[in-house]
Structure 1
Amino acid sequence: MLKMSTESRNASALRRHALNGPAMGSRWSAVFFAADDFDAAALARSFQSAVDRIEQQMSSWRADSDLAHLNAAPIGAWVSIPHELVTVLAVALKIGRLSEGAFDIGVGDLVRAFGFGSGARTPDAGLIARVAGRPSFEPPKTLQLDIASRRARRLALLQLDLSGIAKGFGVDELAREAQRSGLTSWLVGIDGEMRAEGLKPGGRPWAVAHEKPIPGSREILGVLDLSGAAVATSGAYRHVAEVEGRRVSHTIDPRRGRPLESDLAAVTVLAETCTAADAWATALMVAGAERGLELASRLGLAALLVRSDGSVLSTLPTPPRRPVGPAPRARVSSRGTLCGRSPRRGC
């Protein structure tokens, strides 16, 4: 692939390129600035190959995925897995510990039992009792990793589900492909999980709309200014299922073994990687407003928590001499500023 740096060309000579393709039941997207002779088609193939590889490894829907093979292996049997999957499992277990169990990948059985994922079935009280409140990272460990040898084994009857972290990792893989190509100004994403690098011509950061958590509506809460950062949002207002005549959230509360019932409508987290942002957005969503805000503050996470009543809690510092205005018109930057400028759409 032809390599070039946007810093080595006159900004006026750069052209905006936009690419997209299928990824993990949704679509990946990439917007970047490069010269007219940049091989965008080759980069598109690299992007598609990257997300296809991650889906093959981490999909909960595909019976032939590496994750499915691990879930199907006998208890106690070591299974060789790709290094990307080892990496994601290690990060997931770490965030599980740091979040005190609010994030847990050992809930695959519950995801299906409540109508999400493949092989959905009716919730079972015995299953809930077996899985609820038994984190996959606590001793005796129910998931054990051998990172050096790239292998893993389950030590208990649990089904792993990476829906709360895999898309974020997929975005980071898109970012790595953009970096390998020599680009220095880009925005990549999968289904709303985004990561950006550099500035657009004219010195402006990448602008990403922050949606109001309102079912059936597409309204802007604010705008995220991203550069050298990733963002992910977890919400209880988009993906739902009907269980016993009741609409429930797609997010499982691992402590209760049931779909999440939270005082939060959505949580957005900014981080250096989209893997971390994705997992922490889910963790804080499960933790709830009070505990989630305390957890984010204690761990130094940059987060916006939107309550069900529309009020906003934030761990982002506000800029001096610029008081925070009404939340629906707020602008957020990856550097942690929150001010009252009017939001704009698009990139």
Structure 2
Amino acid sequence: MSFAPTFLSACSNSATPYRSQIFVFGTQVDILIYHPDKATIQSAIGKINEDFQQFHHEWHAWEKGGILSKINDAIKDNRPVTIAKSVQNFIEYSQQLSKQSNYLFDPAIGQLVALWGFHSEHWQGPPPDNQKIQNWLNARPSIADIYFEDSQLFSKNRLVQLDFGGNAKGLALDMAISSLQESGIHSALVSIGGDMKALGLKPVNQAWQIGIQNPSNPSDAVATVELFSNESLVTSGTYQRFFEWQGVTYSHLLNPNTGWPVSATDSFVSVTVIHPDATRADSAASALLIAGPDDWQTVAQQMQIQHALAIDAQGKHYHFGKIAERILNPNT
């Protein structure tokens, strides 16, 4: 389904922001632009809307017709599929990120995601049968099973089912910022469901001030951080998508090593990552949350992350790298 962007406010000079909303990826996309020319802004937003709708169709994890469903059908049938170079590049980059994460981020777990009922618009129990989870673990499909010969994609494991829900929004953010730059815009902020990337600075060379959600009350912020030009901020949280069954909460964040959702009692409830590459930040945020307190710093180093903030179920904050330098209210 296609949605036209909603233009919320216009601007008469580059010091007044122009705001727009698009609904895509099952969430709200907010675009804020500083630019003096309204026509340029509207054209740029129209281009982003068109690109996002096409991207959503091509990379949707369970709807038919896009490139991702064609790849998954080919893998299931044990046959090669011809793909575009840009698709190959994204898959190869995701393979690199997966390896760096010790495969805690692994876009080949689509079958496991489906088992848990997260390949739908409504998430509900019951949890899958233990034997089905074990069968999946015994096969352990991974993005590492994919290889390429010329322009053809092959898989060593027929149970690989690609699902890029873990980093597709990051790629979309990178695409949007690149598109705005090509349109001649130099100051903007794009947010997809709360994950965002900045282009340039605000007027008078001000950094963007971004609130980090409180996991126990997402409408509030537990901290405010500074975001600079061409930086992205991505948060992964157990509170974002989940279902409850017989008094137990099951998050959409699945650990490929156990086949089970991450539990807030033995891991974090949210991880926020700042990085220039939104695709990397998106992948890392999920991986660091799954890694938990014992391993998250090792995985962060391997994934070349320098700024990360984790929060546990008790509200305790954990800093990695130089994130403390970005927090404007460090006492929270």
8 Å CA contact retained: 2:225, 2:326: no
8 Å CA contact retained: 1:251, 1:260: yes
8 Å CA contact retained: 1:20, 1:44: no
| 2:133 is aligned with 1:128 | yes
From 281, 288, 294, give the equivalent of 2:285. Answer: 281
From 255, 258, 263, give the equivalent of 1:256. Answer: 258
Give the letter aligned to residue 340 of structure 1.
N
Give the letter aligned to residue 71 of structure 2.
L
- Tell me whether 288-297 or 167-176 shows the greater mean CA deviation: 288-297
Q: Residues 217 and 24 from structure 1, CA distance in 2 versus in 1: closer, same or farther, beyond 3 angstroms?
A: closer
Q: Deviations over 1:24-77 (max 9, x none)?
A: 111222111111454222112101111112112211132112111111114442
Q: SS where residue 259 of structure 1 aligns?
A: coil
Structure 1 equivalent of residue 193 of structure 2: 191
Partners of 1:166 and 1:299 lie apart in 2 by 17
- How much does 1:337 deviate? 3.1
Partners of 1:132 and 1:197 lie apart in 2 by 42
Give the letter aligned to residue 306 of structure 1.
I
Structure 1 equivalent of residue 269 of structure 2: 265
8 Å CA contact retained: 2:225, 2:327: no
Partners of 1:185 and 1:342 lie apart in 2 by 30
Q: Deviations over 1:129-160 (max 9, x none)?
A: 2333735145xx2x2235x52x4223212211
8 Å CA contact retained: 1:24, 1:55: yes
From 125, 141, 144, give the equivalent of 2:147. Answer: 144
Q: Which structure's residues are more often helix, by fraction?
A: 2
Partners of 1:115 and 1:339 lie apart in 2 by 39
8 Å CA contact retained: 1:266, 1:307: yes
Partners of 1:338 and 1:14 lie apart in 2 by 25
- How much does 1:13 deviate? 4.9
Give the letter aligned to residue 153 of structure 2.
A
Q: CA RMSD, aligned part only?
A: 2.5
Structure 1 equivalent of residue 8 of structure 2: none
From 301, 311, 316, give the equivalent of 1:311. Answer: 316
- Tell me whether 300-309 or 178-187 shows the greater mean CA deviation: 300-309
Partners of 1:106 and 1:283 lie apart in 2 by 14
Partners of 2:154 and 2:21 lie apart in 1 by 36
Q: SS where residue 34 of structure 2 aligns?
A: strand
Partners of 2:302 and 2:110 lie apart in 1 by 29
From 96, 110, 114, give the equivalent of 1:108. Answer: 110
8 Å CA contact retained: 2:223, 2:329: no
Q: Residues 124 and 132 from structure 1, CA distance in 2 versus in 1: closer, same or farther, beyond 3 angstroms?
A: same
Structure 2 equivalent of residue 56 of structure 1: 57
Q: Residues 189 and 84 from structure 1, CA distance in 2 versus in 1: closer, same or farther, beyond 3 angstroms?
A: farther
Q: Residues 199 and 342 from structure 1, CA distance in 2 versus in 1: closer, same or farther, beyond 3 angstroms?
A: farther
* Structure 2 unaligned blocks of 5 or more: 1-11
TM-score (normalizing by structure 1)? 0.82
Structure 1 equivalent of residue 237 of structure 2: 235
Q: Residues 38 and 311 from structure 1, CA distance in 2 versus in 1: closer, same or farther, beyond 3 angstroms?
A: same
- How much does 1:112 deviate? 1.5
- Tell me whether 52-61 or 227-236 shows the greater mean CA deviation: 52-61
Partners of 1:54 and 1:168 lie apart in 2 by 12
Give the letter aligned to residue 292 of structure 2.
G
Kindly tell me the number of residue pairs found equivalent between the two proteins. Answer: 311
Structure 1 equivalent of residue 300 of structure 2: 296
Q: SS where residue 309 of structure 1 aligns?
A: coil
From 201, 204, 209, give the equivalent of 2:203. Answer: 201
8 Å CA contact retained: 2:108, 2:143: no
